[in-house]
Amino acid sequence: MSASLPIRPRRLRSSEAIRRMVAESRLGPENLILPLFVQESGPDFDVPSMPGVKRGNIDSLLASCEDSVQAGLPAVALFPCLDPALKDAAGSAAFDEDGLIVRAIKAVKREFPNLLVAADVALDPFTDHGHDGLLTADGRDVANDESVEALCRLARIEAAAGADLVAPSDMMDGRVAAIRSALDSAGLQKTLILAYSAKFASAYYGPFREAVGSSQPGGRISKKTYQLNPANAREAVREALLDEAEGADLVMVKPAGPYLDVIRSVKEAVRIPVAAYQVSGEYAQIHAAARNGWLDLAAARDESLLAIRRAGADVILSYFALDFARASSLLTR
């Protein structure tokens, strides 16, 4: 009976060489961006909820960038952590043209001119209330249009400092078109916009807020008023299409792992590259399970990244990026 089977799919799985040859999805360092946290001074801070992730000064940041270059990563994404004394309701420190993020961008581009730098465009690292934009006068809401004006100013400053990509992560309406216009008017037409188009109001962001020193907003205003409802996939596609029409060069889905269906839907809808952010909570839960002996860390890391790539992400922001790239280079030697 067995001899009568003309179709045997297992033949395509019979050896490592064949499996690699017919793999439908491929993932390499070139698909990854490493998020990095930078602080003004002091010793490196090891983020307790994110094993292997630290926040350091600019010298420490440059060392991480050198590691990234040597491992073959094409890009890093920078996130500043400010002294709480510099924060206020207006996020004034965001507009300091000699501020931490500006000096960090300049330092990286000076030392590693071929390493792409993505700069976050949002006010939550700079505001004492922890929201991504400015509050209305009565403090009952995040003011959309006033926030967009502030974000345009921040994006111009980051692009002028040398950022190759500016990445609005705020989810304000109309901010991509406004930022594109602001950049072009300032002679910064070459700067790409990596839009956080489908950023969900997710429970997976907690470790990031610890790393960047951004408070979780309380009181009357919820980030759910501007970040997406985790229940809504069609709305995510709508947001991505709007950002594409407004001039985004890449659109992004965040988080990644719990939203693979959204990544696929966005990939099928837009005609520009799609990014996905494997966020801090995704990274932390894999590490936690591995520490308890429940998962093989490297295998789970690689499978989680491959799943995001398979879903349709052209680019993945991940705290695993450096470890994955190093492991990949060892395999190809």
The residue extents of the domains of the chain are 26-332
Look at residue 39 and tell me whether its pLDDT is greater than 50: yes
The tens digit of pLDDT for each residue in 99-115 reads 999 999 999 999 999 99
- What pLDDT is stored for residue 141 in this prediction? 92
Q: Is 190 a catalytic residue?
A: no
The tens digit of pLDDT for each residue in 157-174 reads 999 999 999 999 999 999
**pTM attached to this predicted model:** 0.94
Q: What share of the chain in percent tops pLDDT 70?
A: 95
The tens digit of pLDDT for each residue in 218-255 reads 557 889 999 999 999 999 999 999 999 999 999 999 99
Among residues 87, 109, 223, 254, the one annotated as catalytic is 254
Q: Is 224 a catalytic residue?
A: no
- What pLDDT is stored for residue 333 in this prediction? 45
- HEC readout, the chain: CHHHCCCCHHHHHCCHHHHHHCCCCCCCHHHEEEEEEEECCCCCEECCCCCCCEEECHHHHHHHHHHHHHHCCCEEEEEEECCHHHCECCCHHHHCCCCHHHHHHHHHHHHCCCCEEEEEECCCCCECCCCCCCECCCCCCECHHHHHHHHHHHHHHHHHHCCCEEEECCCCCCHHHHHHHHHHHCCCCCCEEEEEEEEECCHHHHHHHHHHCCCCCCCCCCHHHCCECCCCCHHHHHHHHHHHHHCCCEEEEECCHHHHHHHHHHHHHCCCCEEEEECHHHHHHHHHHHHCCCCCHHHHHHHHHHHHHHHCCCEEEECCHHHHHHHHHHHHC
The tens digit of pLDDT for each residue in 309-323 reads 999 999 999 999 999
What is the band of 206 on the pLDDT scale with cuts at 50, 70, 90?
Answer: confident
Among residues 199, 223, 224, 267, the one annotated as catalytic is 199
CATH code of 26-332, in short, is: 3.20.20.70
Look at residue 216 and tell me whether its pLDDT is greater than 80: no
